[in-house]
Amino acid sequence: MDFSNSDRLQTLSGTSRLAGVMGWPVAHSKSPRLQGYWLAKYGIDGTYMPLPVAPENFASAVKSLRDLGFAGVNVTIPHKQAVFDVCDELSDRAQRIGAVNTVTFADDGKILGDNTDGFGFIENLRQNAPDIDFARGPAIVLGAGGACRAIIVSLLDENCPEIRLLNRTKARADALADEINDPRITVVEWDRIDHCLEDAALLVNTTSLGMVGQPPLEIDLAGLAKQAIVTDIVYAPLKTGLLAQAEGRGNPVVDGLGMLLHQARPGFHCWFGIDPVVTPELRDFVLGTS
């Protein structure tokens, strides 16, 4: 779909549906471009805008948006945990993950919190590695941050038989494993990373290593089975050093952009009434290549 020139013009009415993304800062967010594509594609009378909100103003801003008639908002750094205290109800997955990234304002005025990061991760793998079987073997997960927690919860829900969790600061991995409290999680020392790959079916990097401006992820994939899927939630660059190494040795790889695209689907559906589709054209548009 061509969004050049007049095709991208938006005409709003008095009944337009309003949504946005709250963060501090928020100018870097790709969400307005992503959601704007869908609004135009489906001809929806609505808009999605960046909403820079300082932490000290966050709670009052959320309630103000509700009172102004917004349908909902995405929430990004640094508000993903602060929003917990503002919500009247939380989805089961938001409670288990311990963070909220999607807020819907219900007709009765209640503020509903959800977390769609794990959904986005799983749907990205299903779309780009359609033969994936999450129950086939162990998953190696690198990291211990908020996205890591969402991914571990989603893998457990997909019946992953074992998760080997590694983080440069082992204490953080230990704490995360204790909080999730599932016997399928085993914490492994970071310097043992090359020694726990042999029977893994999935390798996931949730750290910032390999991201533009960050140190590379130093890992030797020689012990990883060739059929194991390798994915990185980093999407700048789109092909990280980890993915390049894995692809070079014949492993199927999945980049991180699809997780961003798919995690946006549940919110769009709640606010605008359509379950949008993630397409190659959308990827190109969000990346700015079309």
Any known ligand binding at 145? Answer: yes
Reduced to 3 states (helix: H, G, I; strand: E, B; else coil), residue 39 is helix
**Order of all β-strands in the sheet with 202-205:** 185-187, 163-166, 139-142, 202-205, 229-232, 253-254
Instruction: State the DSSP string of 134-197.
Output: TTSS-EEEE--SHHHHHHHHHHHHTT-S-EEEE-SSHHHHHHHHHHH--TTEEE--GGGGGGS-
176 vs 3: CA distance, rounded Å: 43
Q: Is 63 flagged in the annotation as binding? A: no
Burial zone of 145 (CB within 10 Å; 0-12 exposed, 13-18 middle, 19+ buried): middle
256 annotated ligand-binding residue: yes
Q: Annotation-wise, does 110 bind a ligand?
A: no
Residue 255 assigned as binding residue? no
Q: Is 5 annotated as a binding residue?
A: no
152 in a labelled binding site: no
State the Cα–Cα distance between residues 235 and 63, nearest whole angstrom.
33
d(CA 134, CA 143): 19
**Selected catalytic residue, list 41, 80, 110, 239:** 80
Is 92 annotated among the ligand-binding residues?
A: yes
Q: Is 150 annotated as a binding residue?
A: no
Question: Quick count: other Cβ atoms within 10 Å of Cβ 95?
Answer: 14
Ligand-binding annotation for 181, yes or no, is no
40 is in an annotated binding site: no
Is 263 assigned to a binding site? yes
Annotation says 80 is catalytic: yes
Q: 14 a known binding residue?
A: no
Does 116 belong to an annotated binding site? no
> How far, in Å, CA of 84 to CA of 95, rounded?
9
144 belongs to an annotated ligand binding site: yes
Other CB atoms within 10 Å distance of the CB of residue 245: 18
What span, in angstroms and rounded, lies between the C-alpha atoms of 174 and 192? 15
Token pair 């999935």 in the structure block, residue: 202
263 Cβ partners below 8 Å, 6+ apart? 101, 116, 117, 119, 120, 121
Instruction: Please state the residue numbers annotated as binding site for shikimate.
Output: 29-31, 76, 101, 117, 235, 263
The set of catalytic residues is 80
Instruction: Please state the residue numbers annotated as binding site for NADP(+).
Output: 92, 143-147, 167-172, 233, 256
Instruction: Please state the residue numbers annotated as binding site.
Output: 29-31, 76, 92, 101, 117, 143-147, 167-172, 233, 235, 256, 263
